[in-house]
Amino acid sequence: MVKRDRLTTISAYVFLTIFAVLMVFPFIWMFSSSFKDSGEIYEFNLFPKYPTLYNYQYIFNYSLFPRWFLNSLLIAVVTTVSVLFFDSLIGYTLAKFDFPGRKLIFILILSTLMIPTEMLVIPWYIMVRNLHWMGTYWSIMFPGMISAFGIFLMKQFMSTIPNDLIDAARIDGVSEFGIFFKIVLPLVKPALATLAIFNFIGNWNAFLWPLIVTSSPKMYTLPVGVAYFSSENSMSWELIMTGAAVSTIPLIIFFLIFQKQIVKGITMSGLKG
Amino acid sequence: MRLRQKKIITAYTFLAIPLLFFIVVRFYPMVYSFWLSFTDWDLISPKKNFIGLLNYINIFKDEVFVKAIINTLKYVAFGVPAVIIVSLYLALVLNRIKKFQGFYRLLYVMPYITPLVAVSWVWKWMYQQPPIGFINNLLTILGLDSQPFLMSTSQALPSIVVTTVWVNLGYCVIIFLAGLQTIPQEYIEAAKIDGANRRQILWRITIPLLNPIIVFLAVTQSITFLRIFTQVYNMTDQGSGGPLNSTKPLVLYIYQKAFMSFDMGTAATATVILFGIIMIITLVQMIILNKNIEY
């Protein structure tokens, strides 16, 4: 019996390792290809015989990648800050204030989760045109400034804060905004971290809306830039893979730092949604 | 009483901007899309003519639209069972081991958080014809025939499904694993004492207890596959959904109608249909889950 158990454990590790290789291999192949020169790119070897940084130099000096990188960073940071502020404020209000219409407002906000983005992009596009927002960062960012899912998440966390704490501060004469910033926000830091990470990743990777609303290459975000650059250089796979690597590296670093929160966030999205 | 009034005023002050946002950026555009679907608007002309249900009748006469609907359903039908079965199996095996669980989970979820555009190009590169593409080179070394993959009308869609399953797998594994860890160990110990074998425990205890999670993942993955776009846009030639529309999903159809042919009426009609399908699936989930809560 014990022997059989050990055998199943070993086969479990073997199976999981084979799968891990399948999951990671495309990344390895991407990085490996990005260090090959155009002569070696079609060869089957995993480790480049003549590793070169030429592709990276090319991308940073002769393409708009640095600009796209900054565009994406700016958009992801601004929308994340906005989502953190508004979602926690709304979550707090819905959890801790008793006012007519509270339930209705919460249901209305939650119901927007069912609207697929694809249904909204045409009206958004028309809005951007009519309001002359074309070619601005704002046009890319505005639909993501508040997130309904984040409100749901924050409301759940806010309702665990004891009311006495808030009331005591109120009696001490702390302003309503002061209570929110100085007492409530520090108590929900873990939730804020999870929301920030997910929002950042979501905005960094977003494709459909930035593709629709950006018309000049200078305003592209990194994913739109990668798509554009790759179809422009459709035979130079070493350059395409370098572009893909450049857009992936920040997320891998991000992921390694915040893996615990990411796993926790995914679990929450599944078990509470 | 005064405090209560003050609280109401504070609440609505906090909510003013967000409410405005949800009305202007979510509800109004949704209604606007519904309305556009009853017009023949082409983005340029100043007038939007009301044409009733004509778009809804004409769109089903459009071969490309019908093809896109069929393709979309194929993505769901191939992708959702594949991702759920494989991830459930992986989670069950992961749950058996004691060491390195977190490490494997970490590797599995990496594709899920990396940019889908980058992932699409990496797979497109691996799917290339011999002697370029990695997978075909591997097949050749193993003495097997090389495959056309993205070049063929029959293989392109399944190839994109494989990539998408690879992307979504880790997400599902994490959720299954979290679900498995909530199953009380006593149930399984009790069943073992009663002489149940591993297979019986799996089918009689584990899977019934995971049912709500399976339904949840089936629904969210269905919606993900229904909305498939980025992979197809990047992996097919010029973002066309080719060869011969064989991979074109609904969202790519919408994108092309709205932003390449500026046929806003038809595009809006297709978005309403997508919305309808998603609504139905979500409602079905609610009904099933409400039934399932009591065992």
Q: Give pTM, 2 decimals.
A: 0.92
Q: How far is A56 from chain B (nearest CA, A)?
A: 16
CB of A247 less than 8 A from some CB of B: yes
Nearest chain B Cα to A108, which residue? B22
Neighbours of A137 (CB within 10 A): 15
Average pLDDT value for residue range B227-231: 96
pLDDT at A2 over 80: no
Q: How many whole angstroms separate alpha carbon A29 and alpha carbon A39?
A: 16
pLDDT at A1 over 60: no
CB of B33 less than 8 A from some CB of A: yes
CB of A209 less than 8 A from some CB of B: no
> What interface predicted TM-score (ipTM) does this complex get?
0.92
Nearest to B125 among A97, A211, A240 (CB): A240
Q: How many whole angstroms separate alpha carbon A140 and alpha carbon A71?
A: 10
Burial class (CB in 10 A: 0-12, 13-18, 19+), A222: buried
Fold of A57-271: MetI-like fold (1.10.3720)
Nearest to B32 among A19, A98, A123 (CB): A123
pLDDT band at B294 (very low <50, low <70, confident <90, very high): very low
Using omega within 30 degrees of 0 as the cis cutoff, is the peptide bond preceding B131 cis? yes
The pLDDT score that the predictor gives to residue B189 is 85
Nearest chain A Cα to B17, which residue? A86
CA dihedral B43, B48, B51, B52 (to 10 degrees): 100
pLDDT band at B185 (very low <50, low <70, confident <90, very high): confident
Average pLDDT value for residue range A183-194: 91
Give the least confident one: B64-68, B81-85, B103-107: B103-107
pLDDT at B124 over 90: yes
Contacts of B255 in chain A (CB under 8 A): 208, 212
Judged by CB atoms within 8 Å, which residues 32-91 of A form the interface with B? 33, 42, 44, 86, 89-90
Per-residue b/e over B188-218, b at no fewer than 16 CB within 10 Å? Answer: beebeeeebeeeeeeeebbeebbeebbbbbb
Average pLDDT value for residue range B29-36: 95
Give the least confident one: A37-41, A54-58, A100-104, B121-125: A37-41
Q: Which residue has the higher pLDDT, A264 or B26?
A: B26
Find the helix packing angle between B156-180 and B207-226, rounded to 10°. 140
pLDDT band at B277 (very low <50, low <70, confident <90, very high): very high
What rounded mean pLDDT belongs to chain B? 91
Q: Which residue has the higher pLDDT, A265 or A89?
A: A89
CB of B287 less than 8 A from some CB of A: no
Q: Do B118 and A223 touch (CB under 8 A)?
A: yes
pLDDT at A89 over 70: yes
Give the least confident one: A257-261, B78-82, B84-88: A257-261
Q: Which residue has the higher pLDDT, B150 or A2?
A: B150
The pLDDT score that the predictor gives to residue A273 is 36
Q: What is the pLDDT of residues B131-147, one digit of tens each?
A: 888 999 999 999 999 89
User: Which domains does chain B carry?
Assistant: 53-292 (1.10.3720.10)
pLDDT at B190 over 60: yes
Nearest chain B Cα to A31, which residue? B122
Choose the most confident range, by mean pLDDT, from A110-114, A264-268, B96-100, B252-256. B252-256
Which residues, other chains included, contact B58 with Cβ-Cβ below 8 Å and sequence gap of 6+? B266
Average pLDDT value for residue range A221-243: 93
Q: Which residues pair with B50 in a beta bridge?
A: B39
Contacts of B93 in chain A (CB under 8 A): 12, 15-16
pLDDT band at A136 (very low <50, low <70, confident <90, very high): very high
CB of A138 less than 8 A from some CB of B: no
Q: Which residues pair with B39 in a beta bridge?
A: B50
Q: How far is B12 from chain A (nearest CA, A)?
A: 9
The pLDDT score that the predictor gives to residue A270 is 59
Average pLDDT value for residue range B8-22: 92
Q: B295 with A146: CB under 8 angstroms?
A: no
Q: A48 with A107: CB under 8 angstroms?
A: no
Using omega within 30 degrees of 0 as the cis cutoff, is the peptide bond preceding B212 cis? no
pLDDT at B173 over 90: yes
Q: B56 with B276: CB under 8 angstroms?
A: no
The pLDDT score that the predictor gives to residue B295 is 43
Residue count of chain A: 273
Contacts of A122 in chain B (CB under 8 A): 29, 32-33, 36, 258, 264, 267-268, 271
The pLDDT score that the predictor gives to residue B268 is 96
Q: Which residue has the higher pLDDT, A1 or B156?
A: B156
CB of A227 less than 8 A from some CB of B: yes
Average pLDDT value for residue range B105-130: 93
Best to test chain A binding among B13, B26, B260 (most A CBs inside 10 Å)? B26
Contacts of A251 in chain B (CB under 8 A): 113-115
Q: B56: number of CA atoms within 13 Å, CB side?
A: 13
Average pLDDT value for residue range B64-85: 96
Give the least confident one: A157-161, A264-268, B274-278: A264-268
Q: Do A205 and B171 touch (CB under 8 A)?
A: no
User: Can you list the pairs that B64-68 forms with residues at least 24 positions away whose Cβ atoms lie under 8 Å?
Assistant: B64/B245, B64/B248, B64/B253, B65/B253, B65/B270, B67/B245, B67/B246, B67/B248, B68/B241, B68/B245, B68/B248, B68/B249, B68/B250, B68/B252, B68/B253, B68/B270
pLDDT at B291 over 80: no
Nearest chain A Cα to B116, which residue? A205
CB of B211 less than 8 A from some CB of A: no
Q: How many inter-chain contacts (A to B, CB under 8 Å) are there? A: 246
Domain boundaries, chain A: 57-271
Contacts of B126 in chain A (CB under 8 A): 26, 29
The DSSP element (H or E) to which A132 belongs, if any, is: none
Q: What is the pLDDT of residues A243-254, one digit of tens each?
A: 999 999 998 998
3-state SS track over B119-177: HHHHHHHHCCCCCCCHHHHHHHHCCCCCCCHHHCCCCHHHHHHHHHHHHHHHHHHHHHH
Task: Report the percent of chain A where pLDDT is more than 70.
Answer: 97
CB of B285 less than 8 A from some CB of A: no
Q: How many whole angstroms separate alpha carbon B295 and alpha carbon B291?
A: 9
Contacts of A115 in chain B (CB under 8 A): 26, 30, 275
The pLDDT score that the predictor gives to residue B292 is 56
Nearest chain B Cα to A143, which residue? B25
The DSSP element (H or E) to which B218 belongs, if any, is: helix B207-226
Average pLDDT value for residue range A3-28: 90
Place of tokens 């939650």: A110
pLDDT band at B229 (very low <50, low <70, confident <90, very high): very high
B237 to each of A2, A234, B151, how far by Cα in Å? 55, 10, 9
pLDDT band at A216 (very low <50, low <70, confident <90, very high): very high
